[in-house]
Amino acid sequence: MNNVLILPIILPLITGMLLIIFREKIILQRVFSLLAVFLTGTSAVILLKQIQESGIQTLQLGGWVAPFGIGLVGDFLSVLLILTSSIVALCCLLYSFRSIGEEREKHFFYPLFLFLLTGVNGSFLTGDLFNLYVFFEVLLIASYVLVSLGGKKFQLREGIKYVVINVVSSSFFLVAIAYLYSVTGTLSMAHISVRVAEVGQDGFMTVIALLFLMVFATKAALFLFYWLPGSYSAPPTAIAAVFAALLTKVGIYAIFRMFSLIFYHEPQITHITIGVLAALTMILGGMGAIGYWDIKKILTYNVILGSGFILAGFAAFSTEALTGSIFYLMHDMIIKALIFLIGGAVIALTGTQKLQEMSGLIRTHPKLGWMFFIAALSISGIPPFSGFVGKVFVTKGTFEMNLFWLGIIGLFSSLLILYSMVKIFMNAFWGETILSEEEEKGTDKGLLFPIFLLTLLTILLGVFAEGLVPFIEQAAEGLLNPEAYINAVFNGNPIP
Amino acid sequence: MAILIGLLAAIGTYLILSKQMLRVILGLSLITHAVNLLLLTSGGLKTGHPPLLSEKSTVFTDSIPQALILTAIVINFAVTAFLLVLSYRTYKLYGTDDLEQLRGNDDE
């Protein structure tokens, strides 16, 4: 029992609800939303310490013992992800102060942002399958509104597609839950894991597993990513950055959890399926990233590539590969937010999304240019930045598990990422300066600080990876040994 | 029950594949109804027993699926309401509710 576990969920929720009342007071909204996100991050740090000292933390809501009530479970994986998402959210908030515009700020941008964070943190923490669905819906509904907030023509059109696709995939989620409930008779994830281990994962169970995979693949942009490029390029930068950094990652987390805790008995079917999908995702995402000349499109296809790479590591399913996956997952949250913010700043400066129409920004904005360069190196996995460590572990893991094709496609995809990034760098930053400072459509004043923060983070994460890897290794071990999770949830009570 | 669920899902799928925006939304809500019924059957259908476990009774109705359906209905209600507003705004701005005419890239 640890009451700190609920803080990452209720802090943003309560602040968001309060801020709805103070709709007109923008300064107040800014201060309080920053504070809420900061405190969420702090509670994640506290949790991390507690987990290190005394193992996985659990909280059974309302005091109902394990399989009957809804429980929250915080292990290394979920708390590390909460910490990273709070940091990213903080930077995106700082960015949005300058860029989001008063209209949106007065129309509940900050409450929606906080509700989105509630859903994300809740999905990371919950130990109950149906509760996972509810938190998915919380974050999805907040994201529906954020996509269409502002009511531009383009936003509305993409918003409709986004909502329809997510409603369909949520229905499939419910179908999968219904099937699983009718087979196992329980909704607590730890309890389901015990029951599945008892009866064995037969063909029917594997079908349910693949149904879950389909649902989460839609959310995580794993192969079923056709909805992503449109809806992620519709909203303004700060929102798109949060989406890119957090939303798909929640789907990835759900895949991690479901397929390491519950459906780990038939890896040659489920995990190989994940591996094949990941490989296809990387290839198709890479094609998209090198094919487009629209800066936002290139970045969204990079999100898809990232998802593919993380799940390639998961498909290998060894300590090494999982360590790499989790490290890369954290790195990916930071770096995706970073490149989206930089891309947004570039679009704000030039007033266009097309690469052909921009050039030579590095002369007028050297800081922005070099930070993009660092981000480009980091995302394509060049030492000493953070992408390198994750890529090494994932590649090593896939090779060790004899999945050479997967590792090679992963490495090849890094080349595609590098190409797409260098394309942006060459076109937007190098070359003749066609835009003098007076002609610029907007400013990057105030936008640089959050970008700088994230750049610093990716450097630190790369240089001091050694200090972080032990934590992540423990998270990976936790995924490989579900007994620890189950024991922590049941806490010595008899398992019915 | 199974036939009813299948029928609802089939009609819902047919409506989602049509061009008109309103039909798509109706199709979505039909599909979610089908899913709700599926949830109801997941606990096993027993009639004539209260959802309470007393010391004497050995048979009881599983109440969890009903709780799940209640949650799902509330969520779907909110999403459908939002989707209706969204489609109305889109219809106002674009002057059409034909999804064929709403496709395409941002390049136009």
Domains of chain B and CATH, by start: 2-45+61-100 (1.10.287.3510)
- The pLDDT assigned to B99 comes to 76
Percentage of chain A with pLDDT > 90?
54
List the one residue out of A109, A93, A98, A80 whose CA is nearest residue A37: A93
List the one residue out of A329, A274, A281 whose CA is nearest residue A304: A281
If you average pLDDT over every residue of chain A, what do you get? 89
> Region A438-466: what's the mean pLDDT?
83
Complex ipTM over 0.85: yes
- The pLDDT assigned to A442 comes to 67
CB A270 within 8 A of CB A263: yes
**Positive or negative torsion for Cα A313, A314, A316, A318:** positive
Query: pLDDT band for position B105 (50/70/90)?
Result: low
Task: Give residue A360's identity as a one-letter amino acid code.
Answer: G
How many beta carbons lie within 10 A of that of residue A481, not counting itself? 12
Asked whether the beta carbons of residue A171 and residue B79 sit closer than 8 angstroms, the reply is no
Distances (CA, A) of A224 to A138, A213, A304: 22, 11, 10
| Nearest CB to B86 within list A156, A178, A182 | A156
Q: Which tokens belong to A47?
A: 């949790």
> Region B74-103: what's the mean pLDDT?
86
Alpha-carbon distance A475 to nearest alpha carbon in chain B (angstroms): 31
| Phi, psi angle pair for A446, to nearest 5° | 80, -15
Please confirm whether the linkage preceding A384 is cis (ω < 30° from 0).
yes
Alpha-carbon distance A350 to nearest alpha carbon in chain B (angstroms): 17
Asked whether the beta carbons of residue A164 and residue B94 sit closer than 8 angstroms, the reply is no
Q: Is A38 exposed, middle or buried (0-12, 13-18, 19+ CB in 10 A)?
A: middle
Q: How many A×B Cβ pairs under 8 Å?
A: 86
Q: How far apart are CA A454 and CA A116, in angstroms?
A: 20
Asked whether the beta carbons of residue A163 and residue B90 sit closer than 8 angstroms, the reply is no
| Nearest CB to B93 within list A153, A168, A171 | A153
Query: pLDDT band for position B108 (50/70/90)?
Result: very low
How many beta carbons lie within 10 A of that of residue B107, not counting itself? 7
Asked whether the beta carbons of residue B93 and residue A130 sit closer than 8 angstroms, the reply is no
User: With 90 as the cut, is the pLDDT of residue A55 above it?
Assistant: no
Chain-centroid distance of CA B58 in Å reads 34
Q: Which tokens belong to A214?
A: 């389909």
pLDDT in tens, B19-60: 888 999 999 999 999 999 999 888 776 666 666 666 666 667
CB A423 within 8 A of CB A496: no
> Region A25-41: what's the mean pLDDT?
93
Task: Give residue A270's identity as a one-letter amino acid code.
Answer: T
| Nearest CB to B86 within list A137, A148, A187 | A148
Q: How far apart are CA A16 and CA A10, in angstroms?
A: 9
- The pLDDT assigned to A91 comes to 93
User: With 90 as the cut, is the pLDDT of residue A333 above it?
Assistant: yes
User: With 70 as the cut, is the pLDDT of residue A175 above it?
Assistant: yes
How many beta carbons lie within 10 A of that of residue B48, not counting itself? 6
Q: Which of A224-238, B16-30, B78-92 has the lowest mean pLDDT?
A: A224-238
pLDDT in tens, A282-321: 999 999 999 888 888 899 999 999 999 999 999 988 999 9
**Positive or negative torsion for Cα A52, A56, A59, A65:** negative
pLDDT in tens, A360-402: 888 888 888 899 999 999 988 888 888 888 899 999 999 998 8
| Nearest CB to A141 within list B44, B78, B93 | B78
Residues of chain A in contact with residue B79, where contact means CB-CB under 8 angstroms, are 137, 141, 144, 163, 167
